[in-house]
Structure 1
Amino acid sequence: MADSHPECAPAAVGEKRQQFGSRFLSDPARVFHHNAWDNVEWSEEQAAAAERKVQENSTPRVCQEKQVDYEVNAHKYWNEFYKIHENGFFKDRHWLFTEFPELAPNPNHNDLNDWLSENKRSEVPEGRSKEEGPGLKTEQHTCSSDNLGHKTQMPPLEEDVTRKLSHLEIHADEFPGSSATYRILEVGCGVGNTVFPILQTNNDPGLFVYCCDFSSTAIELVRTNSAYDPRRCFAFVHDLCDEDATYPVPGGSLDVIILIFVLSAVVPDKMQKAISRLSRLLKPGGMMLLRDYGRYDMAQLRFKKGQCLSESFYVRGDGTRVYFFTQEELDTLFTTAGLEKVQNLVDRRLQVNRGKQLTMYRVWIQCKYRKPLVSGAGPEPPVPDRILSSSAVF
């Protein structure tokens, strides 16, 4: 798959890996001195060429019969993907804690909790009797757990609980991780390349991580991984677009929801309901974090004619699908779901294959949106003061 590795390649041996946002190409002759360059300016000619290429590869469209097949059998395509690649395909997300400090040990959520306590916002009930949601397969084109081992079998109790999730009445004091003080949900976890780094890095005893994926094969790989700890994590199969599917947590109980290269795999007309359902799971002040494909990314330009499903929505050769966003589209999705913008930035990056002397222009969007606090006057809560360093905007 052409866009399967949007992460930067590792630094060369003996070369210290630089933080994103600190590498700027001022001298074109030095383009192959690093694996990637930040905040890359696009010329008018390059932007126009990208637009022409998208117009060209957007016609003809995939016939309706095949489009129905890709939607109805989406889980089959993703299951087949993971059966073939298992956990040896993706790279771990080295940028995770740099760009999303909310996931790191002792992140700024402690400041937020203090603020909430001081302003008596923490009295808001953490849950209703039941919260419904989605959970589609992720667009996991960034990570891998090839360094992680496997257990011999899946915990039978968890397997039984997962099977019964769609029929389970979730109560505020009776759900996995109910005693946790900080709860994170990753939607579209794939084989665990975000979840396991969080569990291995964040030793907060109050942390509990939930992770779901559209693919049952991916979830089995997560559960049989030697790093999977059911005392701190709960993995379950879930369809982000299924309005009747139930999450194993009550509404208003999550501190962070992670969507990394996931929403782009959802049919565009189902995105809004999916985000709105997820929003209801957040606590007041809770954050939704997203990183996904931006319009005119290299992967979009590489599609050939006959692979376009609808505007900016394509199907790959293996049957999996991908959408390419604008900042405005994502802002509309989140604000319509009742969330407030904290960050919405475009990451334009020039990736370099120094061995083959190739250059690749990537366009990703990173967003942070917060659930408003209870209505009433008062100061804004603290949020991480670091913004995405590579903040070029369309």
Structure 2
Amino acid sequence: MDESRHLQSDSSEAQLDMIIPSCEDGVFQKRGQKTRILTPEEEEKLASDQILVSDFKQQKLEKEAQKNWDLFYKRNSTNFFKDRHWTTREFEELKACRKFADQKLTILEAGCGVGNCLFPLLEDDDNIFAYACDFSPRAVEYVKQNPLYDAQRCKVFQCDLTRDDLLENVPPESVDVVMLIFVLSAIHPEKMHLVLRNIYKILKPGKCVLFRDYGLYDHAMLRFKPANKLGENFYVRQDGTRSFFFTEDFLAELFLSVGYEQVVNEYVLRETVNKKEGLCVPRVFLQSKFQKPQREM
């Protein structure tokens, strides 16, 4: 997973992040499991890390969230994340929710970054039309500058999903699939429901949101140093970007409270093993599908 690279960024951890995806000996994945069991050392670490970042700094981080993501893309350009060619393998809805072969599939990628998911999808399927948005104006510009960008096949726009109405750019109930991939974790937990309500308006009845994000006790969560905790399962990285780590129950309650129906909601446990470096990196993701109810006849 490319997301293994966006962990805390001091020099030793940055070196580890570069080792993991580039020379792994194997990746082992299990689905439908409970979240991983901590070692005694990991339990002790989490139990001792109870001091929260001050309210003043938390308010500053919230106020400067867009600036911090814009600076992230300024530093890393389009070179940080790998292209996500795995989405059609993990989510059959990106291929199979059409009634006939040449029917257009309309998707929204909420939080598109620089297009690492968007462009592989457009390359693989000529019958996809994509709306895509991101919090960072700089990321949106990178998408528009990409040689693969085609305004006839996609519409990309800047959007704060907690505040800006998607209906300004996307017709109501016009989208077959919404992709919410490693996005919701970057948003304050108290504002996550605003994102889901916003998406609900543009999603067709009976169609679904495809979700994948950090799960509880993921390796990234356990690497945070003291004094980076914002709240329960919520942390800030050194660059000011934030990350929340989801449980099944929290995510289900969040979606159901907005009116969605649960289709699938499960942990994905991965172990990336690098024998040469003596590393075994436990990753925990939550992979889910939530559906907008069919309209009653």
TM-score band, normalised by shorter chain = 0.7 to 0.9
**Following the alignment from structure 1 to structure 2, what is the Cα–Cα distance between the partners of residues 291 and 223?**
25
Instruction: Decide which structure has greater strand share.
Output: 2
SS in 1 for 2:98: helix
**Following the alignment from structure 2 to structure 1, what is the Cα–Cα distance between the partners of residues 203 and 112?**
18
Structure 2: gaps (5+ residues): 1-5, 10-16
Decide which of 98, 112, 131 is 1:110's aligned counterpart: 98
Alignment of 1:1-394 (within 5 A): 1-2=6-7, 9=21, 34-39=25-30, 46=38, 49-57=41-49, 59-103=50-94, 107-111=95-99, 181-204=104-127, 207-242=128-163, 246-376=167-297
Contact 2:165 2:198 in 1 (8 A): no
Specify the structure having the higher radius of gyration (Cα).
1
SS in 2 for 1:334: helix
Q: Percent identity?
A: 41
Summarize deviations over 1:175-204 as a string: whole Å, max 9, x none.
Answer: xxxxx9421000110010010001100111
Shift of 1:368: 0.7
TM-score computed with the length of structure 2 as normaliser = 0.87
Shift of 1:246: 4.7
Letter in 2 for 1:2: L
Structure 1: gaps (5+ residues): 13-31, 115-179, 377-394
**Following the alignment from structure 1 to structure 2, what is the Cα–Cα distance between the partners of residues 316 and 263?**
16
Higher mean displacement: 352-361 or 325-334: 352-361
Instruction: Decide which structure has greater helix share.
Output: 2
Shift of 1:52: 3.3
Letter in 2 for 1:337: V
Letter in 2 for 1:203: D
**Following the alignment from structure 2 to structure 1, what is the Cα–Cα distance between the partners of residues 248 and 43?**
16
TM-score computed with the length of structure 1 as normaliser = 0.67
Q: Call closer, same or farther: CA 1:235–1:354 in 2, change over 3 Å.
A: farther
Contact 1:348 1:361 in 2 (8 A): yes
Letter in 1 for 2:144: R
Q: Call closer, same or farther: CA 1:44–1:344 in 2, change over 3 Å.
A: closer
SS in 2 for 1:52: helix
Partner of 2:3 in structure 1? none
**Following the alignment from structure 2 to structure 1, what is the Cα–Cα distance between the partners of residues 226 and 184?**
23
- RMSD value, Cα: 2.6
Q: Say how many residue pairs are matched.
A: 282
Partner of 1:386 in structure 2? none
